[in-house]
């Protein structure tokens, strides 16, 4: 399931003497309430300026990938073990029902094409009965069922009505499956186009393949930190393995483990060497709870800061030097922006140092750069803010993250205006509108984001810079 809790939306921070606004999150548009209706010009899906590119190449060893595959396949997100591997047999058909958002069709078409070409899965859309049904329901309906979830997938059902009838009966227990025949994905009908696309990517991948998420993965959507929003090269390799003729329904962990070295040698010959890129091991529930408290929407500011420090202490005690330590530093940085910008900058620096050496973590570092750009802008350091945004913009574009791309573009426009180039700033804001509508869901939310960014820089610093 795609969580709304850890990376819920917030506006940008300000260290200026204006009213306090919370710090930007690692996914600035995830699960933000949007106005109903269709964003203009987005009926076919992703806008111009957010063009799909080749997925990031896998640069990890096959030994580590094999361990990650086993950890993904044989546990649920709750930590509950799964006794056997399960998958669909034969051609897979997908249907969309409910109040389907206009942008969903284009995004699903692109996703199914990737499954066929990159993962070798025989999967197509159908109008009638299907193995995978994506039903779009109101966001409020999902939240009444799971308060902190944006979307989720359930086995042995094909509709919301079936799901409601099956709750509490054991029918929805993934651990009792011996093969997959029918699953349903429940996604929000009234979310931003990007949130809809992100739900399609993560929930389709889990409907087809692994049900677990691992916080230590830097190059995967199978991670509840939600930095990656579209399926990566690693994710497609996992799905190609899942549907390999060398594996089958009912295989145990030991049986799959025995088959993986040969399969990976053929599918990923470049992974024969190389060392570890993460520290492995199960993530303690105490760390997960601390991060959920720190970056969730509830609790007092002091409680959230304490939770971030607790997560950092756990990560350090575990000896981690992977995404979990970086994410802990990221949380500390976010929660110190308003009160202690120096501590925030230092924490973001630690997070960036770790992210920049991990495979597939450029998007994580780009989120850090967005935070640092906002912080620099709030202190009148326009040149630094510009450098951070220009470094992060191509990364956000390649990752197809519209909300991040729009926020970075608006930050850059604010810098240009502060430096006296109002014409270039206006042109950049205008050029970003299509991407912003896709990421934020409406013109009203886009205008709110622009106001938040405009409030970052104190007026006296703007005048000093020539704005």
Residue 178: predicted pLDDT: 97
Residue 279: its pLDDT value, please?
Answer: 86
Q: State which residues form the domain around 329.
A: 2-41+284-465
Q: Are residues 73 and 156 in the same domain?
A: yes
CB 225 within 8 Å of CB 292: no
Question: Residues 7, 73: one domain?
Answer: no
Q: Which of 210, 244, 271 is the last residue of a domain?
A: 271
Note whether 85 and 131 are same-domain residues.
Answer: yes
Whether 50 is covered by a domain: the verdict is no
Could you say which of 218, 245, 271 is where a domain stops? Answer: 271
Same domain, 252 and 366: no
Which of 210, 242, 271 is the last residue before a domain boundary? 271
Residue 333: how many other CB atoms lie within 10 Å: 27
pLDDT the model gives residue 384: 95
In a domain, 177, yes or no: yes
What pLDDT is attached to residue 296? 83
Q: What is the mean pLDDT of each run of 10 residues along the chain (467 residues)?
A: 43 28 28 36 61 71 95 92 97 98 97 97 94 97 90 97 94 96 97 97 97 95 94 96 98 98 94 81 94 87 95 97 97 93 96 95 97 94 96 96 97 94 96 96 94 81 52
75 DSSP 8-state letter = B
The whole-model pTM stands at 0.89
Q: Do 292 and 154 share a domain, yes or no?
A: no
Beta sheet of 149-155, edge-to-edge order: 2-3, 149-155, 183-188, 132-137, 92-98, 123-125
- Domain of 32, CATH number, reads 1.25.40.10
Q: Both 180 and 224 in a single domain?
A: yes
Residues 25 and 69 in one domain: no
Helix axes 285-295, 323-334, angle to 10 degrees: 30
**pLDDT for 147:** 80
Number of independent structural domains in the chain:
2
CA–CA dist 192, 394 (Å, integer): 22
Beta strands per DSSP E along 17-129: 92-98, 123-125
Are residues 369 and 304 both part of a single domain? yes
- The answer to whether residue 48 is domain-embedded is no
CATH, residue 72 = 3.40.390.10
In this prediction, residue 459 carries a pLDDT of 59
User: Are 294 and 330 within one domain?
Assistant: yes
The answer to whether 229 touches 27, Cβ cutoff 8 Å, is yes
- State the pLDDT at residue 460: 47
47 part of a folded domain: no
Q: How many CB atoms sit inside 10 A of residue 93's CB?
A: 18
Q: Are residues 159 and 205 in the same domain?
A: yes
Is the domain of 176 the same as that of 302?
no
Together in a domain, 240 and 327: no
Non-local (6+) Cβ contacts of 384 within 8 A are 372, 373, 376
Q: Report the pLDDT value the prediction gives residue 8, as an integer from 0 to 100.
A: 30
Q: What residue spans of 297-401 are helical by DSSP H?
A: 301-318, 323-334, 341-355, 362-378, 382-398
């Amino acid at each position: 399931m795609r969580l709304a809790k850890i990376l819920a939306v917030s506006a940008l921070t300000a260290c200026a003497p204006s009213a306090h606004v919370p710090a930007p999150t690692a996914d600035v548009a995830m699960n933000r309430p949007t106005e109903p209706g269709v964003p203009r010009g987005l009926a076919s899906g992703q806008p111009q300026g957010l063009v799909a590119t080749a997925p990031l190449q896998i640069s990890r060893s096959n030994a580590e990938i094999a361990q990650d595959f086993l950890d993904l396949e044989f546990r649920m997100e709750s930590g509950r073990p799964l006794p056997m591997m399960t998958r669909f047999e034969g051609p897979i058909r997908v249907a969309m029902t409910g109040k389907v958002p206009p942008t969903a069709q284009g995004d699903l078409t692109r996703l199914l094409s990737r499954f066929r070409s990159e993962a070798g899965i025989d999967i197509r859309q159908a109008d009638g009965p299907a193995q995978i049904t994506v039903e779009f329901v109101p966001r409020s309906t999902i939240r009444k069922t799971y308060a902190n979830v944006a979307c989720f997938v359930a086995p042995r059902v094909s509709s919301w009505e079936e799901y409601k009838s099956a709750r509490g009966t054991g029918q929805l227990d993934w651990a009792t499956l011996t093969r997959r025949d029918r699953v349903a994905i429940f996604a929000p009908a009234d979310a931003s186009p990007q949130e809809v696309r992100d739900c399609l990517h993560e929930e389709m991948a889990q409907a087809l393949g692994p049900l677990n998420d691992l916080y230590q993965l830097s190059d995967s959507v199978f991670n509840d930190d939600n930095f990656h929003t579209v399926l990566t090269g690693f994710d497609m390799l996992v799905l190609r393995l899942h549907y390999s003729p060398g594996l089958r329904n009912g295989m145990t962990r030991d049986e799959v483990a025995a088959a993986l070295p040969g399969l990976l040698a053929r599918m990923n010959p470049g992974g024969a060497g190389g060392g570890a890129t993460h520290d492995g091991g199960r993530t303690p529930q105490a760390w997960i709870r601390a991060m959920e408290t720190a970056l969730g929407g509830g609790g007092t500011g002091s409680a959230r800061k304490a939770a971030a420090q607790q997560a950092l202490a756990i990560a350090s005690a575990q000896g981690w030097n992977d995404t979990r330590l970086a994410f802990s530093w990221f949380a500390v940085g976010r929660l110190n922006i308003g009160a202690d910008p120096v501590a925030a900058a230092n924490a973001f620096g630690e997070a960036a140092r770790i992210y920049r050496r991990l495979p597939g973590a450029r998007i994580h570092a780009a989120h850090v750069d967005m935070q640092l750009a906002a912080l620099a802008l709030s202190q009148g350091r326009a040149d630094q803010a510009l450098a951070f945004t220009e470094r992060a913009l191509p990364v956000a574009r390649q990752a197809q993250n519209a909300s991040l791309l729009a926020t970075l573009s608006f930050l850059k426009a604010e810098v240009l205006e502060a430096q006296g180039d109002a014409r270039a700033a206006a042109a950049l804001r205008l050029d970003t509108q299509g991407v912003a509508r896709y990421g934020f869901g409406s013109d009203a939310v886009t205008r709110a984001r622009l106001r938040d960014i405009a409030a970052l820089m104190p007026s006296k610093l703007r005048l000093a810079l020539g704005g």
